[in-house]
Structure 1
Amino acid sequence: MRILLNTLYVTTPEAYLSKDGLNVVVSVKQNEIFRIPIHNIEQIITFGYMGASPGLMKLCADNNVSLTFLSPQGRYISRSQGPTRGNVLLRKAQYKNSDEPNYALHLSKLFIGGKIQNCRNILRRFIRDNGDDEAIERVCEELLRCKRRVLNAESIDSVRGIEGEAATAYFGVFSRLLLNQKEDFVFEGRNRRPPKDAINAMLSFVYTLICNDMTSALETVGLDPYVGFMHTLRPGRASLSLDMMEELRAYLGDRLVLSLINRKQITIKDFIKQGDEGIVMTDSGRKIILSAWQNRKKEQIIHPYLNEKVSIGLLPYVQAMLLARFIRKDIDDYPVFLIK
């Protein structure tokens, strides 16, 4: 089992990363504000445009520490990593299977069926904790029908279409899951680029974090994160990461956003308007989410397939490992992660 090490998040947009011996050094306007030994971290995620020195990038590559650059608003820019490692036979099998329509369809149905079921479980849990809600009950029934349709779909295009219907229904009642700050956090469905409200800004930000962790996990087990089964191939697009994070979105992302708002750990003051319609998080807002994200990853659960305790932060690695086993034919099927 992989040890869950730390992620260094650099949230100051003016920060520049460099090296001093075996230390990562963070500076702002040529003044050092932080340093940490490279062996104490697993990955670096920096929000800004100042960049990193070639020496720091080599230090990261030599120590298998990924370096990811995001914009101050959390939009993905690029990712740096060392030499590709892993079993070449595993990747060869992955590439071959990605071109097999039936194989790709089978995994696509599992990814999206799991996603829909987990969204439904989020809604069912809300009803258990807070009482009946007719609108949410109706959506739960709709999601159940969507999941059944996905599992019986005959093409990936059909899976994508049904997934879109399910997402529209789910996010149509998402605001009903808010118990506090309802007037400040208005939500009328998913939107992005730029997000038009605070909830969409938070969701997009957290989904980016999940995708980055999924990419690291896939590389760790020897799979190519850029060759997926459902998401189409595009240069620079981590298609397999996007495939696999579908089943984790609701559990890792949506629940965190709802928890932060309902517990009043984040407020509308942590967001600012950008342009005529867009809204972005402040630096303090990003730090609140990142702190909650790191704490959440330390919590432990019983994995439904392995039936043993794992840290929530290791879920991407566990699922990547299970997918690799399925591709190698060590197990009969891919066990999608489902919450109760």
Structure 2
Amino acid sequence: MKVNNIITSNAITSKPIETETIRVSALHALAYCPRLYYLEEVEELYTQDAAVFAGRRLHAELEKKEDEDWEDLFLVGEELGLRGRVDALRTRDGQTVPYEHKRGRSHRDDNKQPQAWESDKLQILSYCYLIESALGIKVTEGRIRYHAENVLVHVPFDDEGKKIVENAIALARQIRTSIHRPPVTENERLCTRCSLSPVCLPEEARLVHNRESEPLRLFPQDDEREILHILEPGTRVGRTGEQIKITRKDKPLEKIPAQQVGQLVLHSFSQISTQALHFCAHQGIGIHFVSGGGRYIGSFDNRQGSIQRRIRQYEALSNSEFCLSLAKKLVNCRGQGQRKFLMRSRTSKKIKSARIEQNIQQMQAIIKQIPQITSIESLLGIEGKIAALYFAALPCILGTDIPHQMRFDGRNRRPPKDRFNALLGFGYSLLIKDVMNSILSMGLEPALGFYHQPRSQAAPLALDLMEIFRVPLVDMIVVASINRRQWDVNEDYEIRGEQVWLSDTGRRKFVELYEQRKQETWKHPVTKYSLTYRRLLELEVRLLEKEWMGEGGLFGQLIVR
């Protein structure tokens, strides 16, 4: 019979246990990599990859098979400063022995004899010490079974073992008080097996210091979960069990497993229940709201965990000089992207336009002035001049055979006055929604940016970051779809006086084009690996955070070739 126990030593205290003790599994992470420990324990960042789930399955299987003298113990030793759950506790010849179970293989010494890995050794020694402290009984050894090769390793517990644990606890407490992440480990092999490498970005950090290095592709290739756009007014989104339930008027009930959903985008007057809202937040599903006119309204903020990352963000973005340096990178990135798009379109369409050539040259001359800019105000002026030249040349890259209703005669915003601007406006709303999703899922503060000032519902940091993706994710879609004559000038639009809006069919068509575009890949010009645009949005947010983490240098490099 399996026995579940919770035992606490020195339980009478005025200090909360959770803040005064360290998890044994955290010491395991510390021995593996101090940076991993910091990310998990200080910043409270966790990922659940295949290895994590496989480990859970192993423990679940063992629970069913273990014999009667096995006890699963959760122990808290405040005097020692540790807490943790022992995989298995057995009594052998009058001696109490803790066991740890590992899926992988053991370490081999010079004589090819099985040994415990350093992180596993610290973990089992910590459990030995915790048992002695919490239960007041003598423990002489711990044991680790490596199931990949069915090897049992004995780890002696003595005064030397106690010292190892005490030193680890002291180091863990010291690291917890720091506001800086420990540096990336020099052992690159550890990174390939680490579940938090997509958060840590160790290869990208190394690339900053050595541009000649060949980075491994540790960042995940793509998030294959669906992005559900609820476009029909009156549609209700709810929850049933572990599924998202969608009820559309005059249509069959639709149920989608939650693990297949990455975002819910509620357009117009669609609704979501409180139960579904809580469920989606718990499942890490982004929830966003877009008006019937295609205006981004807002996102549900489900950030959890440590405030430490946002404190660093506040500290960094309170420095005006630092903000100016980031803003220069941003304006250069967008300006170069706009210029390259015009150059590409000119070449592919074989358009010989004096306006395009002249504007391209003028844009390049203005971009060269960016390094000398000394204020955000001056930079805004530079950006405005580049944008004016770009939008003035944009009509020249449209085909001569498109309907006259689809022509572009200058940028206007809300309300849009022509079909081209209606497409741009809706596309930018979808883009800022995706940027917000990345910011919130990364745990940063969208209200604190470095270039844009607060206005309307759009958060400054989201407005900053979307500048990088305006051309590849919206402008190029709009121009290409118009030149391919994919729009019905009547069915896809609604005309209300001088205002022009996308109709229901128009919005549905644009969403399809936009989501298809995000699945296309783009080779990062610095890291040299390819990701979908959907992943690049997340990567760029993480690279921005690295700018104030002492590992900057890769942000704002995504320029259309």
Structure 1 length normalisation: TM-score?
0.94
Q: Does 1:292 align with 2:513?
A: yes
Alpha-carbon distance in structure 2 between the residues aligned to 1:147 and 1:201? 28
Structure-2 residue corresponding to 1:323: 544
Structure-2 residue corresponding to 1:207: 428
- Asked if the contact 1:113–1:151 (Cα under 8 Å) also holds between the matched residues in 2, the reply is no
Task: State the secondary structure of the residue aligned to 1:173.
Answer: helix
Task: State the secondary structure of the residue aligned to 1:174.
Answer: helix
Query: Which sits farther off after the overlay, 249-258 or 220-229?
Result: 220-229
- Asked if the contact 2:519–2:534 (Cα under 8 Å) also holds between the matched residues in 1, the reply is yes
Structure-2 residue corresponding to 1:91: 310
Structure-1 residue corresponding to 2:323: 104
Structure-2 residue corresponding to 1:272: 493
Displacement after TM superposition at 1:236 (Å): 4.7
Q: Which amino acid aligns with 2:349?
A: N
- Asked if the contact 2:299–2:436 (Cα under 8 Å) also holds between the matched residues in 1, the reply is no
Alpha-carbon distance in structure 2 between the residues aligned to 1:155 and 1:33? 55
Give the length in aligned residue pairs.
339
**Cα gap change, 1:231/1:183 in structure 2, threshold over 3 Å: closer, same or farther?**
same
- Asked if the contact 1:272–1:282 (Cα under 8 Å) also holds between the matched residues in 2, the reply is yes
Of 40, 45, 52 in structure 1, the residue corresponding to residue 265 of structure 2 is 45
Q: Which amino acid aligns with 1:323?
A: L
Alpha-carbon distance in structure 1 between the residues aligned to 2:419 and 2:254? 30
- Asked if the contact 1:251–1:339 (Cα under 8 Å) also holds between the matched residues in 2, the reply is yes
Alpha-carbon distance in structure 1 between the residues aligned to 2:255 and 2:402? 38
Q: Which amino acid aligns with 2:291?
A: S
Higher RCO by CA contacts (8 Å cutoff, separation 6 or greater): 1
Q: Does 1:57 align with 2:269?
A: no
Larger helix proportion, structure 1 or 2?
1
Q: Does 1:6 align with 2:190?
A: no
Q: Does 1:68 align with 2:288?
A: yes
**CA deviation string 1:34-92 (max 9, x = no partner):** 3211110111101112421111111111111111111112112232132434x633321
Structure 2 length normalisation: TM-score?
0.58
Q: Does 1:155 align with 2:375?
A: yes
Structure 1 unaligned residues grouped into runs of 5+: none
Q: Which amino acid aligns with 2:356?
A: I
Structure-2 residue corresponding to 1:130: 349
Alpha-carbon distance in structure 2 between the residues aligned to 1:323 and 1:212? 18
Alpha-carbon distance in structure 1 between the residues aligned to 2:536 and 2:553? 20
Structure whose CA Rg is larger: 2
**Cα gap change, 1:181/1:33 in structure 2, threshold over 3 Å: closer, same or farther?**
farther
Q: Does 1:334 align with 2:561?
A: no
Alpha-carbon distance in structure 2 between the residues aligned to 1:335 and 1:112? 9
**CA deviation string 1:155-198 (max 9, x = no partner):** 10111122112111111121211114141212111112111111
Displacement after TM superposition at 1:19 (Å): 1.4
Q: How does 1:8-27 map to 2 (within 5 A)?
A: 8-27=228-247
- Asked if the contact 2:521–2:533 (Cα under 8 Å) also holds between the matched residues in 1, the reply is yes
Structure 2 unaligned residues grouped into runs of 5+: 1-218
Alpha-carbon distance in structure 1 between the residues aligned to 2:304 and 2:295? 25
Structure-2 residue corresponding to 1:171: 391
Of 530, 545, 551 in structure 2, the residue corresponding to residue 309 of structure 1 is 530
Alpha-carbon distance in structure 1 between the residues aligned to 2:459 and 2:234? 27
Q: Does 1:192 align with 2:410?
A: no
Alpha-carbon distance in structure 2 between the residues aligned to 1:118 and 1:140? 11
Displacement after TM superposition at 1:265 (Å): 2.1
Alpha-carbon distance in structure 2 between the residues aligned to 1:207 and 1:311? 18
